[in-house]
Amino acid sequence: MPRKSMTREDWRQFMHDAADNVANYDGNLVMVNVSGGAASAWSWKLCIDMYGAERVHPVFADTQSETPDTYRFLDDCQTVLGQELKILRGDGDIWDCFDKHRIMRFQPGNVCKASVELKQKPLDSEFHACGADAQAIGMTYDEPERMERLSKRLSKRLSKRLSKRNLLFPLVASPKLSSCDIQEALRKFGIKPPEIYQDGFVHNNCLGAGGCILAGLAQWAAVYKKFPERFAYAEKRESEFIEQTGFTVLRDQRDGETKSYTLAELRKDVDDGRDFGGGWISPCHCFTPNLFPVEDLE
C-alpha cells in the first residue's frame, strides 16, 4: 500500500512515467534482479517477453541465508523460463557479515549492512561487468514509494560515479498484478511459488538465517513459532554479536520506554504468553481497501 505522503496524482504520474520507461526501453541488455521472491521472478519473465531472452541477464545475489525452498524455486524458474540464472555468492551469511563489520544497520534510512554488502555491492559490480544499460526490479504497482526511494538512492550513488543506469519496473506494465495475482500467474505458468508465502510471510528474504533484521517483533515471534530451529540459529548468532558490540536485533517499546530487546527475551516472552499479534502478515490488497485503486492507472 502506498503511504499517504504520496498523493493520488503523484502516484499516477510516477507510475505512468515508469510504465512508459518500460515500454520504450530500446537498449542492449537488461540485468534483472532476481531476489528469490515471486515478484522478481515474474519481472524476469516479463523482461524476456518484452525484450527477448538475448537482451536479458538474470542475476541472483545469494546471501546464503535463504530457505532451502528458495533454491528449488529458482531452479524451477530457470527450467521453465529456459534461461540460466547467474548467482553471485560471497563468503558467509548475513550473520557472518554483521560479525565482520561489527554493525547490523546504519543511518540514514535504517539500512541493513548485509543487504549492502551481500546484495547491493555485488549487483552493482555485476551490472558494470556484464555491460548492461538497464536494471529491472520486481516491485509491484502498489509500491510506488519504494520505487521512488530506490530511484532517488540509485541516482545519488551514480551521480558520484558519473555513471548512468536505466531503472526499469516491469511489473507496472499492464495488466497490473498484485502480489497474490503474481503467485497465481506463476502457478499457471508451471512454477510453484516459494512455500514461505503459505506461512503468511510477504517477502522471501533471509528466512533461512532467522529472518530480516528490519522486521518487527511480531514477525520474529512468528518465526519462533513456525521455524524454531531457524530462530535458534539467529538467537545464538545474536548472542555472539552482543558480546562483541552490545547491539541487539530488536527494540521493545513498553511503558513509554524504548530499550534493547534480545531474541532470547522475545522467545521467553512468547513462551510466557505475550501476544505480538498478526500485524506482520500483510494481506494482498485484493482483500483490503486500496488507497489508490489500480483502475486509476488504466
pLDDT digits (tens, 9 = 90+) for 150-204: 887 776 665 555 457 899 999 998 888 888 899 999 999 999 999 999 888 888 8
Tens of pLDDT, residue by residue over 89-116, are 988 999 999 999 999 998 877 889 999 9
Mean per-residue pLDDT, 2-30: 84
Three cell numbers written together for 297: 492507472
Q: Which superfamily does 8-193 belong to?
A: HUPs (3.40.50.620)
pLDDT of residue 36: 92
pLDDT of residue 142: 80
32-33-37 Cα angle (round to 5): 120
DSSP run (H or E) holding 134: strand 134-136
Residue 294: pLDDT above 60?
Answer: no
pTM: 0.88
Please tell me the distance from the alpha carbon of residue 146 to that of residue 168, in angstroms, as a whole number: 13
| Closest to 212 (Cα-Cα) out of 191, 196, 193 | 196
Please tell me the distance from the alpha carbon of residue 58 to that of residue 135, in angstroms, as a whole number: 10
- pLDDT band at residue 286 under the 50/70/90 scheme: very low
Mean per-residue pLDDT, 222-243: 97
Burial, 76: exposed, middle or buried (Cβ in 10 Å; 0-12, 13-18, 19+)?
A: middle
pLDDT of residue 157: 62
Please tell me the distance from the alpha carbon of residue 56 to that of residue 30, in angstroms, as a whole number: 5
Residues of the chain with CATH 3.40.50.620: 8-193
CA distances from residue 155 to 35, 45, 212 in whole angstroms, order as listed = 21, 26, 26
Strand-pair category, 166-168 with 134-136: parallel
Residue 168 sits at φ, ψ, to 5 deg, of: -115, 140
